[in-house]
Structure 1
Amino acid sequence: MTNKHVFVVYSGESDPGRVYHALVYALQAARRGDEVRLFFAGDGTYWPEVLENEHPTMGDMFQELKNRNVIEGVTKTCAMAYGRAEAAGKILPLVSGPEDSRGQIDLLDFADRSYRIWTY
């Protein structure tokens, strides 16, 4: 049986340690064959542009996660709210959840489908 995980990066520029851990554990799970999805939301919409530009400690993990199709995208409403929609949208898809979640990632649906949810 494959484990299923959703990782959501909410942490912004001031908390790179949490982002590092999200990437490490998402990559670890992907490498062992688990079903893994990673999103950037809230202040975490800061990171795609930084990581894409070869961040010295996290850029390689970001690229591997992209190559493995683990990264689902950036929450569109959050990227717009933080003024990062254009930059983030050039790197990752802008994604929207259902209307009743106000466009946010539908974590309840993932939980209903037996995903373990990790927030950073």
Structure 2
Amino acid sequence: MKKCLYGVVFVAFLSFISACGDGDEATEQENAPTEEQAAEEQAPTADAGEPDAKYQQSCSQCHGGDLVSGGAPDLNMIGSKYSQDEILEIIENGRGNMPGGLLTGEDAEAVASWLAEQK
């Protein structure tokens, strides 16, 4: 009977200790990065002179890293279908399910030029 009582007391004590914690949970949550900060840390950076890197950063999630393996239309032959200006217009304004403004300015122009070469 004593062993059973000691077992119950021991389990209750362990439950109490584990429920109390060490108080670091609030600190961890306060110091945890926001979703935006985490995305910035994970997203590769690229210069406007690196259109393929900008493509990988902003477009490859839907169109595929190899221009063909995404759920969105393939882009491996996009230059034979659209001119650079047409591709730029699509990048800036979107089309179908693709939102506009994912790339802007020099980045959009560089990627449009690069994609226009894909024939």
TM-score over 0.5 for the pair: no
Q: Which has the higher strand share?
A: 1
Q: Which has the larger radius of gyration?
A: 2
Q: TM range, normalised to the smaller chain?
A: under 0.3
TM-score between the two structures when normalised by the length of structure 2: 0.24
TM-score between the two structures when normalised by the length of structure 1: 0.23
Q: Which has the higher helix share?
A: 2
Larger RCO: 1 or 2 (CA < 8 Å, sep 6+): 1
